[in-house]
Amino acid sequence: HIAVILLAAIVFLLVLHHNILGLSDVLKSEDSDPSRLVPQNIDSPPDAPRKVHEEGPGKEVAVVIPAVEDRLGGLIAAINSISSNTEANVVFYILTTNDTKEHIRSWIDNTDLKRVKYKLVTFDARVLDGKVRVDSGAEPVKPLTFARFYLPDLVPGLKNTIYLDDDVIVQGDIQDLYDTPIQTGHAAAFSEDCDSVTSKSLLRGAGNQYNYIGFLDYKKERIRKLGMKANTCSFNPGVFVANLTEWRRQNITKQLEKWMELDVVEELYSKTLAGSITSPPLLIVFYKRHSIACRF
């Protein structure tokens, strides 16, 4: 019996050894198969969240422009010059008076302007009562000329904007103008008229070169007391970039109105006023307190 048991044990060990060797060969074969070392793609379940890259329109480039009724052709030309030279998301805020708003809306909808984004903004000319001096024999002052003084009230939802007169033709990308850096504490950036470094390639018809003495009467004591040098370069009031947050903080509108009212009483503007009637109060309020828009 002992011999039989030993024989059975030997047979069992031989079978076990054979099975172990077979299993080892299988494992070696699997480890040597390179396809098993490459991770396989696993499809996400149908309800797995996915990251979606949403592309919307670019940041709004706000452009405020007046629509004087007898210069609507200029308005069309100005807006066309802007929209045809940029891919920016431009929104035009077109300033009108209450009397002409519906007429201008109807006129715009029948021109190429209907393809651009625009909003009509009514300017109440009554805010100018007692603030504008009209000399005898002079042409009547157009109220929209002074609308630029009231930008924060006209476009209260904006932090920054470009202001353009309706006789300006833009020959470059308006985005570059909008991106003009404005120094801390400054409410606007203007292009100085006699700055020889300033590029004239972007704008055409925006004004000539002047000094302060061309706009203000330096014989008046109130003007002399301001300490402004008469030969200081003026700037172009028909094109500028405004930081409306800073404009509101400094109450620029109230400062401009102060000098308008003083001129009515004291006639502070130059008798040979060169250029826009809006320039004198702007030149006083922004004297050495504006940034330079070198990209004009």
The whole-angstrom separation of Cα 102 and Cα 235 is 34
In tens, the pLDDT along 85-96 reads 999 999 999 999
**38 vs 193, higher pLDDT:** 193
* Lowest-pLDDT range of 20-29, 68-77, 164-173: 20-29
**45 vs 187, higher pLDDT:** 187
Q: What percent of the chain has pLDDT over 70?
A: 72
Put simply, whether the predicted model's pTM sits higher than 0.85 gets the answer no
pLDDT for residue 24: 44
pLDDT at 120 over 60: yes
The whole-angstrom separation of Cα 243 and Cα 179 is 11
CATH number of the 60-292 domain: 3.90.550.10
pLDDT for residue 134: 79
pLDDT for residue 38: 29
In tens, the pLDDT along 196-218 reads 434 443 444 443 347 898 899 99
The whole-angstrom separation of Cα 255 and Cα 149 is 10
In tens, the pLDDT along 258-296 reads 999 999 999 999 876 645 789 999 999 999 999 988 544
- Asked whether 278 and 253 are in contact (CB, 8 A), the reply is no
The whole-angstrom separation of Cα 278 and Cα 276 is 5
Domains of the chain, by residue range, sit at 60-292
pLDDT for residue 34: 37
pLDDT for residue 193: 72
When pLDDT is cut at 50, 70 and 90, the band that residue 192 belongs to is confident
- Asked whether 66 and 95 are in contact (CB, 8 A), the reply is yes
pLDDT for residue 294: 54
In tens, the pLDDT along 223-242 reads 999 999 999 989 989 999 99
* Mean pLDDT, rounded, of the chain: 78
